[in-house]
Amino acid sequence: MPRHILPEAQIHTAIRETITNSHKDIVDEVKAAVASNDVVVVGMAQNPVPRKARKLLTAAGVEFKYLEYGSYVSMWRRRNAIKMWTGWPTFPQIFVKGTFIGGGADLEKLIASGELNKMLGR
């Protein structure tokens, strides 16, 4: 499944560094959390879906790291860097054992099917 990403050769050399460094710190923070935690939920305030995902994980007895970045009116540019990195358009964004599994509905399916427990070796 190839993702549609503009090839670097089609980006002018004068702006490549700007693109590379645009909100790099927030992406690096998420990468570090994913590397050091079995389950990571990336969300935002005021959005009920990340809250539901956290409740599902808690009810399933799964420990997780939660990262929250702004709300509907704040930090949207910084959150956009995470969306561009994963290719996923909404929050929450959930990682299990280093694998991006999608959002809240995707998590719910993995819990219901028992696959989440398999991914976690439980």
Q: What is residue 3's predicted lDDT score, i.e. its pLDDT?
A: 87
| 26-119 carries CATH number 3.40.30.10 | yes
Can you give the pLDDT at residue 1? 73
Give residue-wise pLDDT tens across range 23-72: 999 999 999 999 999 999 999 999 999 999 999 999 999 999 999 999 99
What is the residue whose two structure tokens read 């561009």? 84
Q: What is the pLDDT of residue 2?
A: 84
Query: pLDDT of 2-17, one tens digit each?
Result: 889 999 999 999 999 9
Cα 31 from chain centre:
9
Determine the 3-state secondary structure of 100 from DSSP: strand
Instruction: For 67-122, write each residue's pLDDT tens digit.
Output: 999 999 999 999 999 999 999 999 999 999 999 999 999 999 999 999 999 999 99
